Amino acid sequence: MTGRDLARKLFANRRCQLGAAVLSIIAFFSIFADWIASDVPVFVHSAGTSYVLPAITHPDRFHDMRAAQIEDSLGPGHVAIWPILRIGPDTSTRGEAGMHLLGTDAFGRDVFARLLHGTRASLGLGIVVVFLSLVFGITMGCLGGALGGVWDSAIERLVEVVGVFPAVVAVALVRALEHQPSLLSLVVVIAAINAANIARLSRVLVLRCLAEEWAVAARATGATPLRIAFRHLAPHLAPALAIAAVAALGSVVLTETSLSFLDLGVPSKIATWGEMLGEVRWGAGPRVLLPPVLTLGLTLGALYLVADAIRKTFEV
């Protein structure tokens, strides 16, 4: 069966269709969060200069300015295109009248805006971590399985040492050593732990494939194990690693949520699902906690459906 036939079979799977549809909807709202709810315009033409998504491209341009203040600062010939809701995730509206689709939290911040921007932060962090985990995990696993001997033992010991630490414990240790907690350290620690799991899986798959007849024949023609591992094993490793990547994305999102809930995650100024759930410390009720819980549950459920569809399609 060709790759096109397998892809057609995968996309014909009802579970894959349902999971992909849910993930697409969640991704749409997270990508266009600034177009839906923000206190900064999505486009501004002021004093002969145009700004597209200034909240992202020029964060200092309208720093600490409310929507009403920005509007008042624009002259008669200036142009501004505003999002649907003129309210950001960090804007406090305590004591002010306004439309809030999901209400406000204990600090007067709009829950809907925080949910949109929190979804983007949580999923964005998960995708970056999974990408780094795959790159380093596959590289170490292929090197260990193909080289063998001392290299295999050294990489295996390194993977075991890194993988023995739960993510929460590892991040807590790094946070204790840091003078100022950073997002970079969080990404590196979580990526290293997930890379250890992927490296272990890649090593086993490489060793199994190198023992098959086609790999033995390739080695007989002069191909080195390293060349076989990096150039000829991709079709054999792709299904299992695709499942591992989808599962790792769900694991990273859940880990980030747990860490942010414990105030060990991303900086507190960035809205995430875990940061929203952490508001239970300030007396947040179901009205604030239910939206991130439902969104997290839908995301993890959709990822499971996609992973299961890949497993059944490729019979991994």
The pLDDT of residue 3 is 58
Averaged pLDDT, 236-258: 81
* Spatial separation of the C-alpha atoms in residues 119 and 110, rounded to whole Å: 14
The pLDDT of residue 223 is 75
Neighbouring CB atoms inside 10 A of 37's CB total 24
For 183-200, the pLDDT digits (tens) are 788 888 888 888 888 888
Better-predicted residue by pLDDT, 234 or 54: 54
Q: Report whether pLDDT(1) > 60.
A: no
Write out the E strands in the chain: 43-46, 49-52, 79-81
CATH hierarchy code of domain 3-33+111-314: 1.10.3720.10
What does pTM read for this prediction?
0.81
Cβ contacts of residue 124 below 8 Å, gap of 6+? 30
* Spatial separation of the C-alpha atoms in residues 266 and 185, rounded to whole Å: 10
Q: Report whether pLDDT(18) > 60.
A: yes
The pLDDT of residue 311 is 82
* Spatial separation of the C-alpha atoms in residues 27 and 48, rounded to whole Å: 34
For 140-199, the pLDDT digits (tens) are 888 887 777 777 788 778 777 776 777 778 888 887 777 777 778 888 888 888 888 888
CA angle 247, 250, 255 (to 5 degrees): 120
Please tell me the least confidently modeled range out of 37-51, 237-251, 261-275: 261-275
* Spatial separation of the C-alpha atoms in residues 237 and 241, rounded to whole Å: 6
Query: Could you tell me the residue ranges of all domains in the chain?
Result: 3-33+111-314, 39-81
Structure tokens at 18: 């349902």
Averaged pLDDT, 258-279: 78
Q: Report whether pLDDT(57) > 80.
A: no
Shortest CA distance to 111 belongs to which of 91, 126, 125?
A: 91
The pLDDT of residue 22 is 93
